[in-house]
Amino acid sequence: MTDREYDVYLHEMMQALRARPRIPVLLYAHGGLVTLQGALENNTVMEKAITTEGEYYPIFVNWHASLPTTLGEHLCCVRQGERESWAPLTIPLAFFGGLANSVVEAIPSWGSQVGDGTVPLRRSPQSYDIVYDSLRREFGQPNQIRVSRGDVARLPPVVQRFGGLTVGSPFRAFGSPFVAGFGAPAWENMLRRIHLMFRADDERSTALAMAKQGTVDYRAPSGALGVLMDSLSTLVAEERGSRTITLIGHSMGAIVMNELLQRYPELPVSDIVYMAPASSVRDLETSVIPFMRENTSTRFTSLPCIRARTSANGHSERTSSPAAACSSGWTIT
């Protein structure tokens, strides 16, 4: 799709929204390791379910997140976070460098697995206490940040302790070194692609130079998602609060939404829903929590380990966990 075609597409979308001024917008971003074709097929199924109810106007954010394209771009084209014309000349160095890292990581990885002896199938609930303590120290009193846990999966102890060893260890033993050598660069390149959804490489470099010079003039984004959000922000500003937006991010899609919350803090977001988010606690501290402090009616939901709706002003609604295999989780209130 050319820039002109995309502009026409966005114009038609905004016109459709203006014709339905009160219908909420549902913005969904899929996770990593998903092909564009796979994302389109999933979106078709979800769109039918959403539009049948008629309660939301869905907008699906599809982005290049498949492993072959991400890893391939890392090997052939991207160096130090930017595409370089000379990068193909260094493909052998990038490949054998990743292979060398895999070999180096193999011994400590195997040693760690042997030393552990067993591989638990589920995370200890104590790990969520660590998250809670960190958030409480950072943001306030215990009555401002609370922890709720879902239902614990009651598997037989022998299955919990030895199931991962007998089933997962062969794959883990041979796979973990390659994850260190090639998975980490692929992850970094997926993060780079998320940033490119808002601003292009050359545009980010220009913005950095302007920041160093103290220039803060607004520059319209060139990334497809950035252009969409500028149009949507203008629309909701014109409507003066008659429309709300729900953000849903699955896995790495939560990182997309974190970036969006930081760039567009004025959006009338009613709900933020993260499903198995791949973002870190630090990401939450620098994106979701600041946004909810400024927008006290916004509710945050974390799935599948917990089914709760929380608001920054301390009000929350909780129900039981939707998944039987859910071990535990935490919410912000």
pLDDT digits (tens, 9 = 90+) for 200-213: 765 645 554 554 55
Percent share of the chain, pLDDT over 90: 39
Please tell me the least confidently modeled range out of 15-24, 223-232, 271-280, 310-319.
310-319
Rounded Cα gap, residues 329 and 137, in angstroms: 18
User: Which residue in 64, 5, 81, 3 sits closest to 29, CA to CA?
Assistant: 64
The pLDDT, as a whole number, for residue 139 is 57
pTM for this structure? 0.74
**Does 333 score more than 70 pLDDT?**
no
The 10s digit of each residue's pLDDT in 217-227 is 556 778 999 99
Rounded Cα gap, residues 328 and 306, in angstroms: 7
> What phi and psi, each to the nearest 5 degrees, are found at residue 230?
-60, -45
**Does 306 score more than 60 pLDDT?**
no
The 10s digit of each residue's pLDDT in 259-283 is 999 999 999 999 998 888 898 888 9
> Would you mind telling me the total number of residues written for the chain in this entry?
333
Higher pLDDT, 105 or 159: 105
The two three-digit tokens of residue 264, written as one number = 């567009």
Rounded Cα gap, residues 323 and 326, in angstroms: 5
**Does 310 score more than 50 pLDDT?**
no
Sign of the CA dihedral with 134 first, then 137, 138, and 140 last: positive
Element (H, E) at 131: helix 126-139
Q: Coil, helix or strand for 274?
A: strand
Rounded Cα gap, residues 306 and 194, in angstroms: 26
Look up tokens 């301390």; give the residue: 314
Rounded Cα gap, residues 301 and 281, in angstroms: 15
